């Protein structure tokens, strides 16, 4: 049983965004496992580096999609992404300074941030997109999508 498990409740677009979110869950799980296995500081930090790199890519993709749909809350959304990346950088520095005992609370924070962000902020742009485009996405399920 992985630490973080993506479920359909977190679905945003039934496609690329969901796959990227699943990969972010995998990255948090890899970090969690590295901490739980007591891996060396550098290995734990590099698990965090992967999360940062992949997160930057996902956030950039999402922000350009939001810009393309003229999403009115793009700035707030981008700030949340930046805060997350800032927190990852702080964690990385703490780990390398020897704060290995903080690993569990770090993975808790990263996991719950991700779930909350998807459930609230990402869902908000998904519903804006459905409303503004007038198109129903796979996310809505087959009954509505086929109507």
Binding site for Fe ion (CB under 5 A): 62, 122
CB-CB contact of 114 with 4 (8 Å):
yes
- Whichever of 33 and 113 has its CB closer to Fe ion, that residue is 113
Q: Which is nearer to Fe ion, 54 or 99 (CB)?
A: 54
Closest approach of Cβ 19 to Fe ion, in Å?
Answer: 11
Q: Which residue is nearest to Fe ion (CB)?
A: 122
Least distance CB 101 / Fe ion (angstroms):
30
Rounded to whole angstroms, how far apart are CA atoms 91 and 28? 13
DSSP 79-105: HHHHHHHHHHHHHHHHHHTT-GGGHHH
Pick between residue 22 and residue 46 the one whose CB is nearest to Fe ion. Answer: 22
- Minimum CB distance to Fe ion, residue 67 (Å): 13
The Cα 74–Cα 91 span in angstroms is 26
């Amino acid at each position: 049983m992985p630490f973080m498990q993506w479920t359909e409740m977190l679905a945003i677009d039934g496609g690329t965004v969901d796959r990227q979110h699943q990969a972010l869950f995998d990255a948090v799980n890899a970090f969690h496992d590295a901490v739980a296995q007591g891996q060396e500081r550098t290995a734990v930090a590099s698990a965090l580096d992967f999360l940062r790199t992949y997160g930057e890519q996902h956030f950039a993709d999402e922000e350009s999609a939001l810009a393309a749909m003229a999403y009115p809350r793009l700035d707030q959304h981008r700030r949340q992404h930046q805060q997350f990346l800032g927190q990852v950088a702080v964690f990385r520095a703490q780990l390398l300074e020897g704060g290995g005992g903080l690993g569990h609370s770090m993975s808790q924070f990263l996991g719950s941030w991700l779930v909350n962000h998807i459930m609230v902020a990402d869902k908000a742009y998904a519903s804006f997109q459905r409303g503004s485009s007038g198109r129903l996405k796979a996310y809505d399920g087959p009954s509505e999508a086929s109507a």
